[in-house]
Structure 1
Amino acid sequence: MSSPPEQHSGQGKTSDRASSGKMAPNATNAVSFFNSTAFDTRVNALINEWHVPGLSLTLVHQQELHSKAFGFATLEPPRNCTPDTLFDIASASKSTTAGAVALLVDDEENYPHVQWDTTMSKLLPDDFVMAGDSYTNNVTVEDVLSHRSGLPSHDDFYFSKRSSHPDDPRTVTRNLRNLPISVPIRTKEQYNNSLYTVASYLVEKLSNKSFEEFLHERIWKPLGMSSTNLQPDKTREVGLGDRMSKPYIWKEESRRFQVLEYEQTPEAQGAGSVWTSSKDYALWVKAIMNKEAPINDEIYKGLTRPRIFSNPEDDDLDPFCSWQGYAAGLESYFYRGHQIIQHDGLISGFSSVHFFFPEFKVGGVFLGNSENAGTVGSGILVKEIIDEILEIPESDRTDWNARQHKQNDEYEESKKESQEKLRKELSANDDGLAEPLKLPLDVYVGEYWNIGYKEMVVQIKDERLYIDASDRTMAFALDLEHISNNTYFLGTIYDMLADGEEVDKIKVEFRFDANNRPVRMGIDQEASLDGQLILYDRVEESSGQGQQKVVVR
């Protein structure tokens, strides 16, 4: 663990001018604000307040890039963050994935059969099958890219390289048929990482290139993005390891940062895993914003046209902000009547945002090596920059920092209330009190199986039932506290990618056969299924030759 070294103000400032030209009237305010010492003071205060080791920022205005960085890329040994420091940008990668698909849609000569409204099952026959013929036959390319396929997130189903049977984009695609669907097509946005991996597989199948090769050849190399790669291993392989930042989480109890490990996730490509710098990724933002090759007018429209509302039930919208719509790897909303297009990214130890204001030809990329970097970037600085552009009087501005704290506090309070409610629901008398378990723990121990989520192994740890799912891409563990009737357990989720941080509590239920033996386990792993549990059947080794597994029902 490391204590944060002293922060430095605005280190590594650069300003690159690709060409000169007349600036839009109010956009110069953003540039002036970004380049001011007041901005440096503001950012340094925010990263200390929100416990962000390092933050790398690049602002785009028309053809100009303005870059600066704050804090540290690594704490031990201390190494300053710069505009060239590399970060895992997580879901901010999705606009690149959508861009790759958009290039296929735009290529009438080689891919006339690929359109935004082409059904995925026509493009990936046999591979793209969902749990319902109407979905298989009707989900389109743009449904996949706008999270409106009817399939909820199901983030727990795929396996990482830590597993004895890791997934890849093809197996992720072929497993869709085994995952429960929650709503009709095009009725609700349900954010889904795995479908972006499916989109990357589509690019590979149609282009006969690896996804990484396609991105390099069609997007990154043409734009001069020489510091952008897929996965941390590739970043090191091409000689950029000394520019990689390290991921951190803040440990409040010890008042120190904890460094985390890099995650190599080829099975999740397309959804994330792009490593880049703020300066490099700003070239992608500039290309979209200015419709520069390989982006043309039709591709721009395809990437930025909202397909579905993301938050229609939000009763606490940010002041002066509209509801948000999801396009293709980008989100769109209006602030004081002016459109903002952006996408965030968040994984353990890294967060990011890239954005642009089409009307003002101003955009940016803000990258950091902690989860709260996204709060500072997307939740505060982006809003303060557009307030500068619009020349909102200080007395009329929202305190975006205070609002972020308020929203965080409300979220934590809401989570606490939900957990207390769940405990009461699981208890025998709705009082939240746990009864003694009347069966031996080892009665529950063993392997359980779900065709979509594969195996879950129940074991005993510290005199409690425990599930170690750290071989999943979204590595987690479950500690099971018995609440009532030998059946209902309160499962505490721990994020194993974030040093075992507690995340939430969920319902776990065991079901018994006539001999009072657990033969099925249900876990409330997908909130969008509205209480429908993911059911795992108990598995036993047969006594026959080959030790085949037998599902007990």
Structure 2
Amino acid sequence: MVPLQVLFKLLPFYLISSVSALPQSSTSCSHTTSSFESTSSPLPTSTSSPPSTNTSFPATIFDDSTDAFINEVLADWKSPGGIAVAFVRQNELGEWTNVEAKGYGVATANGTKVTKDTTFNIGSNSKLFNVLAASFLIGNETLSPRINWDTKIQSIIPEFNLTDPIAARESTLLDLMTHRTGYPLHDFAYRYSDDIPNVIAKLQHQRQSASFRDIWQYNNNMYTTLSYLPSLLSNTTYARYVKENIFDPLNMTATTFSYQLANSHGQRADGMGRQGRDVYADPFGGTPRAVQYWTATTGGEDGSVLAGAGGVITSAVDMATWLQTLLLDGRHPTTNENVIPPDVLRKITSAISVQTTRPEFPEVSLIAYGAAQLQITYRGHLIIEHGGFIRGFNSQISRLPYDGLGVAVLTNDNEHGKVQTEIIKNHILDKALGLDPIDWSGRWKALRSVPPARATPRPSNATAPSVDFPQLAGMYNNDGYGPIELCLVSPTNADSSASGSCEALASNISTILPGGIRQGIPTLVGAVDSPWYSHIRVEHFDADLFNVSLLISTPTDDPKEPFWTYNDKSQSDNLQTAELNVEGSHIGLGLAGFWAGLWDGAEAGVPKPKGDTVRERAEVYFDKITA
């Protein structure tokens, strides 16, 4: 679920009758086109100009040259996964001249190929459905009292409290949608075992990083809070509310919040990572492995606690329908029925916050953020879009309202999928708009080839911490994050008072986290049911300073190697640390580098805590619980 700076068995696809159907694709990709006479009217001038005329526009975007380009990107980036793409175009007469979907590369760990029907999790592109669900409640005239975009959250959810009383009292629906509450990600706060009320209850204990409405800061917890509204106001779960009001009316039959349902169809892609990747030798290398699914695998069509922030699973086919609907200001592309009120789309695409302070490339503008939608220009063309990232999956869903174009790119490449969505989106836009192509793959590959800073080696004569290592083991708690039991696993057998759960963890650590414990470094490990990590590793560096890593014990289908360790970045400086604090008999750990979660640049420009004490400097402070 992430921003750039800081991330469908449907009706047949058609071309107008003057365009002939293309031949079937090879086994490495899938593509469907045919012809029909559109019944849709032109794009309404209330929100956009008519699409521009481009006489050189290709009959199909996914021709041999595009196939070759996308397959080349997958090969050059040594992708362990694949890509599904949707493209739609409406001409100035309101006819859909292009409605296309196609798949490339590998969908699963067993080698299944990506097709147009392969389903991917789209991460934070799920948030738009959350905003729209709230908009339907805003438009519900039977509610008493009525709500609107500026309704205070506390008036609907009295339990909504924050450490900043002004933000708690004044935060509106729109504030939560536009990421301007003053609170950073705090992604590691929520657990699989949480429900939405638990997530909301934790908010009042999470530290604020900026003043209310001062800057743009991405926050998934606020979108989880928003997803509580259908349960409170319509007596149905958020996931079912979206299904009944959006997925079903648009016949988006492959789109769901249910992992079980997506899995049962046999079309679900695995998120694919690179085991053993050495970012200094080859940042694109590694052994292809499936990564652990991010959202819960239970919950069915009621969804999980993460549904509102990033729970949607969908296909390129359904994303083509979704793009058409958005370009039509919320109308069904076949029946012309209003599914989403056009004034809602105008509201949420209006720029409210500046997301970036400097363009990434000369061809693009600053990013202006609305509500789960952002505005950016590309080579003079307005794009309304959003990106999405969760472990193993990346997506980019973009539309150009003045040009009548839409592009969706879905990937299951964990490490480099985010930039691959940009490379392929921009390549398709260059082709569709008749622009000279830019070597986006070359640009991004040069940037991604620059290795991160290496980790500073632990001093050979490191000073011992203020208390003995066995004293550090035990249960810690932060009310905004929950309890974590840290177990001393290295040196082995050093903690004679270890709990039964710690003894079990230590005895099994080499199996479940292979290579995760480095010899000669005193190390504590805690198991956590977080969507972002399964284990926290706290390694002593020097004196009262520790390095922190968030690892995921990931099952394989290989009995000789039943698990692999994901996200071990011990070679590089991941900027996550813990500072020991001893006050008499009290022991605590102040963690830093946690606000941004795992999102590159998610908290760019956000000031870090300062102070004279560990508590003041900590982004998250954990107290050790005494018996």
- Choose from 529, 540, 556 the match for 1:482: 540
* Correspondence for 2:254: 227
Matched, 1:11 2:51: no
Cα distance in 2 for partners of 1:29, 1:296 equals 34
**TM-aligned CA deviation for residue 310 of structure 1:** 0.9
Matched, 1:401 2:441: yes
Aligned positions of 1:18-57 closer than 5 A = 19-20=37-38, 24-26=51-53, 32=59, 34-50=61-77, 51-57=79-85
**TM-aligned CA deviation for residue 329 of structure 1:** 1.3
Q: Structure 1's 488 and 61: CA in aligned 2 closer, same or farther, altered over 3 A?
A: same
Are the equivalent residues in 1 in contact too, given 2:54–2:434 (CA < 8 A)? no
* SS of residue matched to 1:243: coil
Equivalent AA in structure 2 for residue 34 of structure 1: I
**TM-aligned CA deviation for residue 18 of structure 1:** 6.3
**TM-aligned CA deviation for residue 156 of structure 1:** 0.7
* Correspondence for 1:288: 326
Q: Structure 1's 502 and 255: CA in aligned 2 closer, same or farther, altered over 3 A?
A: closer
Equivalent AA in structure 1 for residue 384 of structure 2: I
**TM-aligned CA deviation for residue 364 of structure 1:** 2.2
**Normalized per residue, which structure has more strand?**
1
Equivalent AA in structure 1 for residue 623 of structure 2: D
Equivalent AA in structure 2 for residue 122 of structure 1: S
Equivalent AA in structure 1 for residue 170 of structure 2: N
Aligned positions of 1:111-510 closer than 5 A = 113-125=146-158, 127-160=159-192, 166-236=193-263, 239-240=264-265, 242-251=266-275, 252=277, 255-265=286-296, 266-291=304-329, 292=331, 293-312=338-357, 314=358, 317-372=360-415, 374-375=417-418, 377-393=420-436, 397-410=437-450, 412-413=451-452, 416=453, 420=456, 435-437=462-464, 439-463=467-491, 464-485=522-543, 487-496=544-553, 499-503=565-569, 504-510=574-580
Are the equivalent residues in 1 in contact too, given 2:271–2:292 (CA < 8 A)? yes
Are the equivalent residues in 1 in contact too, given 2:102–2:316 (CA < 8 A)? no
Cα distance in 1 for partners of 2:461, 2:223 equals 42
- Choose from 44, 52, 69 the match for 2:103: 69
Are the equivalent residues in 1 in contact too, given 2:409–2:424 (CA < 8 A)? no
**Normalized per residue, which structure has more helix?**
1
Are the equivalent residues in 2 in contact too, given 1:379–1:404 (CA < 8 A)? no
Q: Structure 1's 500 and 170: CA in aligned 2 closer, same or farther, altered over 3 A?
A: same
* Correspondence for 2:595: 526
Comparing 105-114 and 147-156, the one that deviates more: 105-114
Q: Structure 1's 460 and 18: CA in aligned 2 closer, same or farther, altered over 3 A?
A: farther
Quote the sequence identity (%): 23
Q: Structure 1's 35 and 481: CA in aligned 2 closer, same or farther, altered over 3 A?
A: closer
* Correspondence for 2:9: none
Equivalent AA in structure 2 for residue 399 of structure 1: D
Aligned-residue Cα RMSD (Å) equals 2.6
Runs of 5+ unmatched residues, structure 1? 1-6, 161-165, 542-553
Are the equivalent residues in 1 in contact too, given 2:105–2:113 (CA < 8 A)? yes
Runs of 5+ unmatched residues, structure 2? 1-24, 43-49, 91-95, 279-284, 297-303, 332-337, 492-521, 555-563, 597-605, 610-616
**TM-aligned CA deviation for residue 481 of structure 1:** 3.1
* Correspondence for 1:545: none
Cα distance in 2 for partners of 1:16, 1:304 equals 32
**TM-aligned CA deviation for residue 83 of structure 1:** 0.6
**TM-aligned CA deviation for residue 451 of structure 1:** 1.2
**TM-aligned CA deviation for residue 433 of structure 1:** 6.8
Q: Structure 1's 24 and 333: CA in aligned 2 closer, same or farther, altered over 3 A?
A: closer
**TM-aligned CA deviation for residue 52 of structure 1:** 4.3
**TM-aligned CA deviation for residue 331 of structure 1:** 1.7
Comparing 32-41 and 146-155, the one that deviates more: 32-41
Cα distance in 2 for partners of 1:56, 1:277 equals 8
* SS of residue matched to 2:568: strand
Q: What are the superposed Cα offsets for residues 97-125 of structure 1, whole Å, 9 maximum, x if unpaired?
A: 11111222233454762211111111212
TM-score for the superposition, normalised by structure 1: 0.84
**TM-aligned CA deviation for residue 373 of structure 1:** 6.2
Q: Structure 1's 219 and 268: CA in aligned 2 closer, same or farther, altered over 3 A?
A: same
Equivalent AA in structure 1 for residue 223 of structure 2: Y
Comparing 207-216 and 437-446, the one that deviates more: 437-446
**TM-aligned CA deviation for residue 54 of structure 1:** 1.9
